[in-house]
C-alpha cells in the first residue's frame, strides 16, 4: 500500500532558498491534499557569546534585551513565512489554506525540528540544503544531516541551486 501524506513539516531558516523549498512542500501538499506546518528555529546564543554579553550588560537589562530581541525575531520570522505563503499562493486560495501552523522554536535547529516532528508526527519532513565547501559542510550542513539521519519520518531534502536568489528573500 502506498503511504498517505496528510501532514508535511516544512523546516526553514528563511534563507535565500526558502521559496524554492516551499514550492516542493506546496506541490506535495496539493498532490496529496495535505496540510503544511512550518517550523523555524531561533538558535540559542553560544556560551561564549553569553559570557561576553554578561561582562558588559547587567543581568536585569540583559534579560530585558534578550526577551525583546526574541519576540522581535519570532514576529519577523512568522511574518516572513506568512509573506512567502501569500506570495506563492497569490491566485490559489486552496493552496493558501494548506499552511495551517507556523512554529517558531528555540534551541539548536536539528534538535528543535526533530522535537516538533515527534510532537506532530508528520508524514514527511521537507527541508532544503545547498552545496558547501568541505569546511562549510561540517558546520552549515549539520542541521540537514542530523535531521536526515535522526528522524523517524521520511525526509525530503530539496537541493537549493547554486546562486539561487529571488527578489524579496
pLDDT in tens, 7-52: 999 999 998 899 999 999 999 999 999 999 999 999 877 778 777 8
Report the C-alpha gap between 32 and 153 in whole angstroms: 17
Break the chain into its structural domains and give their ranges. 7-159
Question: With bands split at pLDDT 50, 70 and 90, how would you rate the model's confidence at 139?
Answer: very low
Q: Which of 3-17, 96-110, 121-135 has the lowest mean pLDDT?
A: 121-135
Report the C-alpha gap between 147 and 123 in whole angstroms: 14
Under 8 Å CB-to-CB from 139, ≥6 apart: which residues? none
pTM as predicted: 0.87
**What average pLDDT does the structure give for the chain?**
88
- Number of other residues whose CB lies within 10 A of the CB of residue 146: 16
Taking residues 86-105, report their average pLDDT.
Answer: 92
What's the pLDDT score for residue 140? 46
Taking residues 120-148, report their average pLDDT.
Answer: 78
Looking at domain 7-159, does it have CATH number 3.40.50.620? yes
What's the pLDDT score for residue 36? 98
What's the pLDDT score for residue 131? 61
What's the pLDDT score for residue 142? 83
Q: How many residues does the chain have?
A: 169
Amino acid at each position: 500500500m502506498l503511504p498517505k501524506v496528510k501532514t508535511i513539516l516544512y523546516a526553514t531558516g528563511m534563507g535565500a532558498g526558502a521559496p524554492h523549498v516551499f514550492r516542493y512542500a506546496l506541490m506535495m501538499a496539493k498532490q496529496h491534499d495535505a496540510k503544511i506546518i512550518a517550523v523555524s528555529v531561533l538558535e540559542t546564543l553560544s556560551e561564549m557569546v553569553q559570557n561576553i554579553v554578561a561582562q558588559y550588560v547587567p543581568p536585569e537589562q540583559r534579560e530585558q534585551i534578550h526577551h525583546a530581541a526574541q519576540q522581535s525575531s519570532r514576529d519577523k520570522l512568522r511574518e516572513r513565512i506568512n509573506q512567502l505563503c501569500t506570495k506563492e499562493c497569490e491566485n490559489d486560495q486552496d493552496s493558501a489554506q494548506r499552511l495551517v501552523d507556523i512554529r517558531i522554536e528555540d534551541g539548536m535547529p536539528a534538535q528543535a525540528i526533530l522535537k516538533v516532528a515527534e510532537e506532530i508526527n508528520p508524514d514527511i519532513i521537507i527541508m532544503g540544503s545547498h552545496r558547501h565547501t568541505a569546511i562549510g559542510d561540517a558546520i552549515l550542513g549539520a542541521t540537514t544531516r542530523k535531521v536526515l539521519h535522526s528522524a523517524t519520518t521520511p525526509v525530503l531534502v530539496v537541493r537549493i541551486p547554486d546562486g539561487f536568489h529571488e527578489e524579496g528573500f
